[in-house]
Amino acid sequence: MFPMVDPMTLAAGAIVKLAFDEFVKSSAGEAAKQSVGGAIELVKTLRNKIRAKLQDNERAQKAIQTIEQEGSQSALTKLETYLDDTMEEDETFAIEIRQIAQQIINAQNRIEGNRTYSNYGRDQINIETIKGNPKIGGS
């Protein structure tokens, strides 16, 4: 779960991670839908706003393309730098994408808060994602 943060303090790195991390995670075999926790449309909106704002920055466009095609963590780091510079130059844009990022975090927190956990003695398991042998703690 993400902690509650003031949307105006969200850094470019956190925003880029929210917008593009599903590509990095999906390249590692994880489900992209789980990483965005039901806020898929908001993530798309955030990604599109970033892409549109950085459309004249050739290096940023190359980083975005590399992230989407290869799931590159190093390209994600480069994009953070480009976005950070842009956010410093355009405060209105920075406020807008920070607000969208905060909405994504709020949606993820709601999803995490609704998960069901069952207590079997000293062991707890998440009943939504049982893998392997569900017999825990004896019997």
CA 62 centroid distance within chain? 20
- Cα 51 from Cα 126, distance rounded (Å): 37
Place of tokens 């703690």: 137
Question: What integer pLDDT is reported at residue 40 of this predicted model?
Answer: 83
Q: Is the pLDDT of residue 41 over 70?
A: yes
- The residue with greater pLDDT, 86 or 13, is 86
pTM above 0.75, yes or no: no
How far is residue 83 from each of residues 88, 109, 138, measured CA to CA in Å?
9, 25, 52
Residue 131: pLDDT band with limits 50, 70, 90: low
Residue 3: pLDDT band with limits 50, 70, 90: very low
Q: Is the pLDDT of residue 14 over 60?
A: yes
Domain ranges of the chain: 7-126
Answer whether 105's CB lies under 8 Å from 13's CB.
no
Place of tokens 């004896």: 138
Give the ranges where the chain is alpha helix by DSSP (H): 12-27, 32-36, 40-53, 58-70, 73-89, 91-113
